[in-house]
Amino acid sequence: MKDYMMSSMKGHGIIPFHMMMFSAPFLSDYSQDPDTITAMGVATASVEPERVVITMGVETTRLTASAALAENSRLLNAAVDSIVAEGVSLDSIATSRISIHPEYDGYYDDDGQYREDFDGYTVRNIIKVSTDQIDMTAAILDSAVQAGANSVESVRFTVSDDARMTINESLIEPAVLNAKHQAHLALKPLNYDIVGVKDVVILPSGTASPLMRLSADFEAFASTTQIFTPDEDLSVTAVVTFLIGPDYTHCHK
């Protein structure tokens, strides 16, 4: 069986979409070992985000674990209170992770031996704020940092799962048609044509990336912080294997 491979990319995007695969039956009068060509088509849509997800928290280091935890809790509670004061519901705030670990100060002594001195305990408590109040993103960040948050890991704008699924489904047909168009372009100079479909695979195209990461000079984090909301590109990739045969109409001209 001859197998021609070609592909075409018409954009890029990010979709949390499950892979689908199905096979169409061979034509009844076609050979059991047909020629095929595999083409890839992509359809992309830009979508205005509906939600913002902010990952931030507090990191504290003290000589004892209890002191580090107490200070961390005080600062994190203050940060959460400041976020709620901005109009974000408490239900929109969740703990992402918390860790407690000892800190050591490493050095080489006069004999060249590596030593470590115990330097206390570090507590790191990270929360995730998810809200549809996108226009409040800068205010949420500013108030939390001023209240005591000293670690802002990421700010990500996204669309709802329902909207994402609806858009993904609407992109399947144009992605398949794009693959068909690419196959036709490759077959035309070969005097071949599409006579059927062997299989179709709909592929996911990646994972959403954060808009920004901040490890900050938090002293400079002021109320004038500007957040620009980007559109999110969603895409669907269709990989289609077509059954092909000679284009007798073209050959007889």
What is the model's pLDDT at position 159?
Answer: 85
Using alpha carbons, select from 164, 171, 168 the residue that is nearest to residue 43: 171
**Separation between Cα atoms, residue 155 and residue 188, nearest integer Å:** 48
Token pair 């559109």 is found at 231
What is the model's pLDDT at position 14?
Answer: 35
What is the model's pLDDT at position 125?
Answer: 96
Superfamily of domain 51-158 in the CATH hierarchy: Protein of unknown function (DUF541), domain 2 (3.30.70.2970)
**Separation between Cα atoms, residue 102 and residue 90, nearest integer Å:** 31
What is the model's pLDDT at position 137?
Answer: 92
Structure tokens at 238: 């269709």
What is the model's pLDDT at position 165?
Answer: 87
Tens of pLDDT along 180-229? Answer: 999 999 999 999 999 999 999 998 664 444 344 444 444 444 444 556 66
- CB neighbour list of residue 245: distance below 8 Å, 6 or more residues apart: 30, 34, 35, 192, 193, 195
Strands 232-246 and 192-203: antiparallel
What is the model's pLDDT at position 74?
Answer: 96
What is the model's pLDDT at position 229?
Answer: 63
Structure tokens at 194: 């599409």
Q: Which residue ranges make up each domain of the chain?
A: 3-48+162-208+234-251, 51-158
The answer to whether the Cα torsion of 191, 194, 199, 202 is positive or negative is: positive
pTM over 0.75: no
- Give the residue ranges of the chain where pLDDT is below 70: 1-33, 204-229, 250-253
